[in-house]
Amino acid sequence: MSGSPRLLLIDDEPALADYLASAAKLAAFEPEIASDHEDFRRRFREDPPAMVAVDLGMPGADGVELLRFLASENAEQPVLIISGFDNRIVDTAYRLGRELGLNMVGPMNKPARLEALEHLFGQVRQRLVA
């Protein structure tokens, strides 16, 4: 395993998860894709990542539940919300994350351009290694 910071991400659309992972790699993160909420929680607890990226709209449970989980774990990692939902919903989830004490970055709306994602991941990575 490289010395790159790890990014744990979850998205119910495999192609979009791979797209996010590609952008993270370009910014020198080592991406790890969780298959579902339970997998995300398990991975987070077993080996906390440097950053997380959460899709709001997923079957079975939503991203807001994961924000609450991260807050219950006292997560200090940067948290990126990425979603295809209406801007008002995304902004509300972002504000909730901040109110829960999470280190929110973004949010990003789908579809996000690769360059924009790479730039955001790059900025976060610079803060992590500074």
CA end-to-end span of the chain, whole Å?
21
Rounded CA gap, 26 and 116, in Å? 11
Which residue ranges form the domains of the chain, and what is each CATH number? 6-125 (3.40.50.2300)
Residue listed under structure tokens 């990226």:
53
Task: Find, among 77, 76, 94, the residue nearest to 85 by Cα.
Answer: 94
Q: Which residues contact 82 (CB under 8 A, 6 or more apart)?
A: 11, 20, 53, 54, 55, 106, 107, 108, 109, 110, 112
The pTM for the full model equals: 0.90
Phi, psi values for residue 31, rounded to 5°: -80, 145
Per residue of the chain (130 residues), give pLDDT as tens.
Answer: 458 899 999 988 888 899 999 999 999 999 999 989 999 999 999 999 999 999 988 777 788 899 999 999 999 999 999 888 888 988 999 999 999 999 999 888 877 888 888 888 999 998 888 7
Residue listed under structure tokens 């440097």:
50
Rounded CA gap, 4 and 61, in Å? 30
The neighbour count for residue 84, using CB atoms within 10 Å, is 15
